[in-house]
Amino acid sequence: MSEQEKKQDYAADNIQVLEGLEAVRKRPAMYIGDVGVKGLHHLVYEVVDNSIDEALAGHCDTIDVLINEDNSITVKDNGRGIPTAMHTKEKKSALEVVMTVLHAGGKFDKDTYKVSGGLHGVGVSCVNALSSDLRATVHRDGKIFQQEYKIGVPQYEVKEIGTASDTGTEVRFLPDASIFETTVYNYDTLAARMRELAFLNKGITITLTDLRNKDEEGKHIGQTFYSEEGLNEFVKYLDRNREPLLEDTVYFEGEKDGIPVEVAMTYNTSYTENIQAYVNNINTHEGGTHLSGFRRGLTNTLKKYATDSGMLAKEKVEIEGDDFREGLTAVVSVKVQEPQFEGQTKTKLGNREVTAPVSQAVSQMLADYLEEHPNEAKIIVQKVILAAKARQAARKAREMVQRKNVMSGSGLPGKLADCSSKDPAECEIYLVEGDSAGGTAKQGRDRNFQAIMPLRGKILNVEKAMQHKIFENEEIKNIYTALGVRVGTEDDSKALNMEKLRYHKVIIMCDADVDGSHIETLILTFFFRYMKEMIENGYVYIATPPLYQVKKGAKSQYAWDDDQRDRLIQELKGSGSESSVGVQRYKGLGEMNAEQLWDTTMNPEYRTLRQVTIENAAECDQVFSMLMGEDVPPRREFIERNAKYANIDV
Ligand code: 0RA
């Protein structure tokens, strides 16, 4: 082949490649979920996952992630380096194939156990397609190789640029600003994921460095994540603000029926259950077969132990699966070759063959533990019995709520000002802090589709209360009744039955001050613990009332932050007439009249609603337990430092 022909051939191949990557650019959301903040961060996870795979194959122990000054990202590992030899079929360097062909990532190394991979498992070529610039550098065979790309298109053939005494891969990419709504990376979001990955894959050192900012001493912000004990430490980390019931965590690691299973669990004094289940390093929010396996193993083993111990007969209580999970914190992590993801958000594991191995692993680890720790075993059984008694009381309270619904007239709470529409898809309910603001909202609303329900003062802190107290609480009963939802479905006694849900937007509207933010957190905690499905379906929102009104004569405008306020003041000052500029700081919703509240906060044409999402479930649980739990000092510090929620992305 002549040089000329070679060039043409190369170009022809590239056209094919382009077709694949063009599809990614046309419909990016199909490949990475969305083009918002989430998708932007997903790019990093996708690249890091490749290095994690290399580490899981035993060839790499360090991964460095840098947020560069221009918001580009560098991911560097000390693995074998992506192969650079000519790929015979594709007639180009293997590196180029990996970087430019969709799903080509794992092709070259069939023997390694490849199970990592982002939720969408799309590979690094996707990241390449969505980057305005990307540079891959490989240290391998004593040499340094490099290739650069623009929106996935190679700018030159893979070239040798020097010699190397080490091996590894470095990928630096700049997300395409014409694709992503935002291109600014959030350090805390990346840190939470890197920490999680370090716990899930013990022995790997992951560093994160933010080169955009320096601290007072002129040093860049950064952290190193490393876990010697894996899930054992993960569980301790999740429970770091809770009071432990057991001294140690119960731990299992091994392979069952060819499926790697790792489990760690412990009990604390709280009433909440916190089980995080992972498949191939992905948090499966919706659970699935591995979680069923965990529950089965836990229930069977504890039930047998409790029965054999004679403690159950003495207390005359019937225990159920739920009772074993009060105050339980656990992490289950399995690796599955071909995971089937199902469910609303594709985070529910469907593979049937996974249940038995996990159940066996849990049974074995727990049976061993109980036998070796009779004192702790007794503490656990006592806790379970207490939970069973509380559950019976809670059921009675809950049945009262639901029976009342069926019996009395409309069955709706007296405080609810309902809307006229009965189509849930267009209906909204505002949960408003206080009766006075509730009154204003009732006057200001569009009654066709907006319902208002005032909540009195602080609602119950569900993090600290036992279950039956929660279902006896007036405000909480009102929320259930107004929404039209019930607890318990056919296959899960704790799941939320949303068949009769009356509104697809639940909007929490609180004062924009410290108290308001606390009440907002209380309500969110309640939704997170008892109506998580509402959040997962994207039905929960937070209203954003303005902080200031800037006035001059008859002209008035609103500002949501100090910068905006200052700009408005300048604008109005510059606008001719004699009268002076006045600024009003809204301390509460009550200071606005009905019209102002409608204009700024309730009118769908102008308002900004922040949708509540669960970004990082493990971290989220911790944030709520810290904000609302027993341990007051860290809560105060957290609220003072940061009135919003670290990982509940609103
Ligand atoms: C396939 C084969 C080999 C290495 C890799 C993939 C590899 C990929 C990535 C992605 C990021 N870091 C990586 N490190 C390695 C090597 C096969 C061999 O050397 O025999």
Query: Which residues have C-beta within 8 Å of that of residue 272, sequence separation ≥ 6?
Result: 326, 327, 463, 529, 621, 625
State the pLDDT at residue 1.
54
Q: Which candidate, 537, 529, 467, places its Cα nearest to that of 506?
A: 537
Mutate to test the pocket of ligand 1, among 65, 109, 138 (most ligand atoms within 8 A of CB): 109
Residue 185 Cα to ligand 1 middle (Å): 27
Residue 648 reports pLDDT greater than 60: no
Exposure on the CB side of residue 430, measured as CA atoms within 13 A: 35
Specify the DSSP element, H or E, that contains 198.
helix 187-200
CA-to-CA distance for 112 and 419, rounded, in angstroms? Answer: 59
Burial of 447 (0-12, 13-18, 19+ CB in 10 A): middle
Tell me which of 43, 44, 45, 54 to substitute to probe ligand 1's pocket, judged by most ligand atoms within 8 Å of the beta carbon: 54
Annotated catalytic, 433? yes
Spatial distance between the Cα atoms of 74 and 64, rounded to a whole number of angstroms: 8
Higher per-residue pLDDT: 333 or 114: 333
Cβ atoms of residues 502 and 424 within 8 Å = yes
Q: Categorize the per-residue pLDDT at 492 as very low, low, confident or very high, splitting at 50, 70 and 90.
A: low
Q: Which residues pair with 134 in a beta bridge?
A: 149, 173
The yes-or-no answer on residue 368 being catalytic is no
Contacts of 159 (CB under 8 A, 6+ apart): 145, 146, 147
Q: Whose CA is nearest to atom 8 of ligand 1?
A: 82
Is the per-residue pLDDT at 29 higher than 50? yes
Question: How far is Cα 29 from Cα 32, in angstroms, rounded to an integer?
Answer: 5
pLDDT interval class at 308 (50, 70, 90): very high
Instruction: Write out 77-103 in H/E/C secondary structure.
Output: ECCCCCCCCEECCCCEEHHHHHHHCCC
Mean pLDDT of 412-418: 92
Which atom belonging to ligand 1 lies closest to the Cα atom of 75?
11
Cα 77 to Cα 25, 402, 534, 584, distances in angstroms = 27, 56, 40, 54
The residue among 320, 331, 344 whose CA lies nearest residue 281 is: 331
**359: amino acid identity, one letter:** S
Of residues 90 and 11, more confidently modeled: 90
Residue 11 above 60 pLDDT? no
User: How many angstroms is it from 84 CA to the middle of ligand 1?
Assistant: 10
pLDDT(304) > 50: yes
Please say if 513 is a catalytic residue. yes
Residue from 60, 80, 122, 173 whose mutation best tests the ligand 1 pocket (most atoms within 8 A of CB): 80
- pLDDT for position 601: 95
Over range 452-474, report the average pLDDT: 82
With CA atoms as reference, report the closest residue to 71 among 206, 193, 180, 205: 180
- Provide the whole-model pTM: 0.75
Q: What's 601's DSSP letter?
A: I
- Assign residue 46 a region (left: φ > 0; alpha: ψ between -120 and 50; beta: otherwise): alpha
> Which atom of ligand 1 is found nearest the CA of 124?
10
Rounded to whole angstroms, the Cα distance separating 380 from 244 reads 11
CA 111 / ligand 1 centre spacing (Å): 12
pLDDT tens figures, 215-227: 889 999 999 999 9
- Number of Cβ within 10 Å of residue 538's Cβ equals 14
Q: Which of 176, 322, 511, 649 is catalytic?
A: 511
| pLDDT band for position 18 (cuts 50, 70, 90) | low
- pLDDT, tens digit, for every residue of 548-596? 999 988 888 899 989 999 999 998 887 766 778 899 888 888 889 999 9
With a Cβ cut-off of 6 Å, ligand 1 is lined by: 50-51, 54, 77, 79-80, 82-83, 108-109, 169
Domains, the chain, with CATH or none:
11-225 (3.30.565.10), 231-389 (3.30.230.10), 413-545+609-641 (3.40.50.670)
Please give the distance, rounded to the nearest whole angstrom, from the Cα atom of residue 57 to the centre of ligand 1: 9
